[in-house]
Structure 1
Amino acid sequence: RRGLEVQVQGRAAVARELKGLREAMANHSGSEDAVSKTALQEEIDRLSEDVQRRTSIIKDMQQTLLDLEKCLEKGKERWAYLRSPGEMRLALEQLLKAGVAAMQEGEVALEKQTAEHEEVCERMAEEERKRSRAALRDLEQQHQEKIEVLLAGLQGSSGGAGSSSAAAGGEEEE
């Protein structure tokens, strides 16, 4: 039951995040860059799939709980047939093994989900690094162009040939 509650809470958290992203997408103006809009849409799609997957898991868990409750009702009858401590010990071992197996399956699913989230975060971080590098290259290019314009202006104002040595040597020749 606790695993089911965790899944329901996780689905609710993902649904809230999805709602926030959808609102952000709706507020996203058309003039902003397409890369961030695409990244938002990819994240919305991924979260929608996650909500659907969690819903499926929750339905499966609910069905399992119903089946387990039926078995427990039948199990009460079965426990009545256990007469010796050895039979009881074997029955308890089987129950514990089933519980451990269910917990391990849940842990594997959680680890897989965590890995998927880490992968998405890495992908988004890499996209942001690419955008930052592109912006830096643009700024460097603009800076270089401004320097070239200023140098051309200095060369033009000091008379051409003499200005190249002035720019290089720091002195002006006339």
Structure 2
Amino acid sequence: MNTSSDLTHWQRLIERYFDAQTTEGEEAQLRAFVTSARADAEEFASLRAELDEVRAVMGFAARAKRAQRAALSSSKHKAEKPARSHRSRLWPTAAAVLLVGALVGGGALVYDYRHPDCVAYVEGVRITDPIRVQQEMERTLQGALAPTTDAPTMESQLHDMVSTLEENQNIH
């Protein structure tokens, strides 16, 4: 082949490769060409960018195939190892569950013993007796909810507002 027809041949093959129109034989031929010293010849300088792209894509595909083969071979090795029986895992798991349960239960008992549920501070004095705490709470609530005679009623508040407005109008 002459230089012009070679250039055209490889250019068309590269275009077909990127359009996914090449056969496996044509891809092998293209792979052999792009990895040869001939592809770096001056006559193919105009195709240099396209040849580099083909090298990159083919290299990426080859690397992916190697990674896939490696993953398959490692999974075969894993499959060949004898699996542990479920019974051999049962006892350590049961022991761990019992240990955690004992620790949590014991901790809850110790916490409950040292920290009473009812605590109140009345005038700076700590009270932990549940009966006394409840009595103090009820006494406080009764005092807070009891009606006071000092509190103004709504009517008296409205009367004060209206009378203040009337006084202001009379001044002006």
TM-score > 0.5, shorter chain as reference = no
TM-score, normalising length: structure 1: 0.29
Considering Cα pairs closer than 8 Å and 6+ residues apart, tell me whether 1 or 2 has the greater RCO: 1
Structure index of larger Rg? 2
The structure carrying a bigger helix percent of its residues is 1
TM-score, normalising length: structure 2: 0.29
